[in-house]
Amino acid sequence: MLPWDEVISFPLLGLDESFGFTSWPTPAPTPETGQEEPEPPTLSPAEDRRRRRKISNRESARRSRMRKQRHLEELRSQGARLRSQNRVLTDHLDATVHRCFIFRAENNRLRAESAALRRRLCLLLRQHHLLSSPPPPPPPPPAPTGGGGFASGYEQTLASLFS
């Protein structure tokens, strides 16, 4: 085994290169955070395009998820609004049906009352007509006949035709 001092002083760059890794340059402190951020190594143009396309695709997917989320929220809001409108319309319909029922019952009552009043008016008009018209003339007295004061049926018929 290596002594502890040798392990600590062992150059890591040699290991990185032996595994096919490239070393990162020393990160520069950022003025905003004061922390060090690693700078990416210089990439070939194809790798750079691939990296930028990957970043662009991630950003596009993020925007797509945001649009989908906004659309979903709008649909939920619209659903809630439509349910509320449906409740209002249902209440309005129920009230209208109730008023219709009341109006029909009142209409039936008024029709029955109208028919009863018409019958009563007809009866009163008949009574008025009977009371206001002159009374019919009294029947003529029977004509004396030789048969004991009674006229035969033929004579009565004949007398009624002349009168």
Where are the domains positioned within the chain?
44-130
With b meaning 16 or more CB within 10 Å and e meaning fewer, what string describes 49-60? eeeeeeeeeeee
Q: What is the pLDDT of residues 77-124, one digit of tens each?
A: 999 999 999 999 999 999 999 999 999 999 999 999 999 999 999 999
DSSP character at residue 163? -
Distance CA 54, CA 60 (A): 10
Q: What is the pLDDT of residues 36-76, one digit of tens each?
A: 555 666 779 999 999 999 999 999 999 999 999 999 999 99
Q: Which residues, in sequence order, are bridge partners of residue 29?
A: 36
Global confidence as pTM:
0.43
Q: Count the neighbouring beta carbons within 10 Å of the beta carbon of residue 156.
A: 15
Confidence category of residue 136, pLDDT binned at 50, 70, 90: confident
Total residues found in the chain within this entry: 163
Characterise 148 by phi-psi region: left (phi > 0), alpha (psi -120 to 50), beta (else). Answer: left
